[in-house]
Structure 1
Amino acid sequence: MFTSASLSGSKPEQYEQLLAQARALMHGERDRIANAANLSALVYNALPQLNWAGFYFFDGTELVVGPFQGLPACVRIPLDKGVCGAAASTRQTQRIADVHAFPGHIACDSASNSELVVPLVSSTGALIGVFDLDSPVQDRFDVEDQHGLEAIARAFVESLE
């Protein structure tokens, strides 16, 4: 049985604790749906001011929604659309302070004002998908959030290999 411990200390220390919890949840499990479901729940419940946390998986053509926490989401996202598409096509994390100013933003939830999307890329360079977090707060994500969530995304990819 898993119980979520409160995060304490500085933001980097909190992300180290969250990463340790994530690794414990994924330990010995290689199924991407199981790990994505648990990570979505872990992050959504651990971090404040989120209204969506989850995964989109690349099906060879576009991104398809996977496990998540939050309101129902857009099911399919082309690689040339939105923040998720930008992260997938460039394979670069997208940290967007104001999604309404982002060209081609897809408003799956009108309450979202900022977004952080981390691409999921295998050790062979294959695109797996993206890890997507939305917030109703503008400029919710800073560089410490980005680094912490990139580490969690790397741990997810490592769990699959």
Structure 2
Amino acid sequence: MFQTKAYSGNKQEDYQLLLKQLKALLDGETDETALLANASALLNQFLDEVNWVGFYVWKNNELVLGPFQGLPACTRIAYGKGVCGTALKERKTQRVADVHQFPGHIACDAASNSEIVVPIVVNGNIYGVLDIDSPIKDRFDETDQKYIEEFVTVIEEHLK
């Protein structure tokens, strides 16, 4: 069952509070690294049962590791490869209940069993992805997806 590390236990209310905190945290900040670093730290602090939260940024026709929380990760991911590259190619969130069943999954951390990846698009251009991994199979549900996508929308607005 979903539980936050420091909130009320009502999943939707907790996510709404998270979004308010994100907006306050990013308000007035223009440095992209600072924005992404604080966003990954905030989300990592908020979510239970995750082992990696971070960003890959689109550079020179590949995804390059950006700010994150967790163990060392793959530094480069090709367009269309793995869950991250697929999310970017399709410009669509990938919510994967069992990464071991995902064709072409890239295993950066053997402990990861489920994953959600949300593409980041700024002014119509690919920017990168938000990637969240969990050691728990089927960790992310529709509510998680809805609010994590809203989390990315807030970030996109601050990257414009």
**Category of TM-score, reference length = shorter chain:** over 0.9
Aligned position for 1:136? 135
Residue correspondences, number: 156
The answer to whether the 8 Å contact 1:65/1:74 transfers is yes
**Percent of aligned pairs with the same amino acid:** 55
RMSD: 1.1
SS in 1 for 2:144: helix
The answer to whether the aligner puts 1:6 opposite 2:11 as a matched pair is: no
Q: Structure 1: which 4+ aligned runs deviate by more than 4 Å?
A: none
The alpha-carbon deviation at position 9 of structure 1 amounts to 4.5
Whole-angstrom distance in 1 between the partners of 2:9 and 2:139: 19
The alpha-carbon deviation at position 6 of structure 1 amounts to 2.5
**TM-score under structure 1 length normalisation:** 0.94
SS in 2 for 1:63: strand
Aligned position for 2:51? 51
Whole-angstrom distance in 1 between the partners of 2:23 and 2:9: 19
The one-letter code matched in structure 1 to 2:11 is K
The alpha-carbon deviation at position 32 of structure 1 amounts to 1.3
Deviations 1:73-97 (A, max 9, x none): 0000001210000001100000000
Aligned position for 2:79? 79
Whole-angstrom distance in 2 between the partners of 1:36 and 1:7: 22
Deviations 1:17-58 (A, max 9, x none): 011111111000121110110011111111100000000000
The one-letter code matched in structure 2 to 1:145 is D
